[in-house]
Amino acid sequence: MPDEKVDFFSVVARRKLGVSYEWCCCKYEAVGPDFTIEGGIPKTLKAGPDKGKKSFRNVRLLKCVVTRTDLMIAHNQYEANTGLCWQCQGSKVAFDRECERCGGTGEAPKLEVG
């Protein structure tokens, strides 16, 4: 799903829990400066009004602590791998306005060395 934005909470949790890329977060809870998240591998609904949507009903959920440092590392890795600004992920827009991190270029800001 290339159009979907990266959820960095899921990225961190997948690495920490050693689960597959299909695993994603469904609950987020702020605990002090960090987060406790819960997630699992969602099922795709095969019938009903929400057909095709993902559901976490009856899915075994795992909890994972995600710290601010974890997120920062994930952001840095994303920028190093893609060359895109992690905030807007190349879309140039974050929070419905021009992305402040990259100044609307969509590119990862150059790291200051030294």
* Contact residues for Zn ion, defined by CB under 5 A: 85, 87-88, 99, 101-102
- The residue type at 30: A
Pick the closer one to Zn ion by CB: 58 or 81: 81
DSSP state for residue 19 in the 8-state scheme: -
Pick the closer one to Zn ion by CB: 12 or 88: 88
Cβ 80 to Zn ion shortest distance, Å: 15
Pick the closer one to Zn ion by CB: 23 or 78: 78
In the sheet that 24-31 helps form, which strands lie side by side, from edge to edge? 24-31, 34-40, 62-66
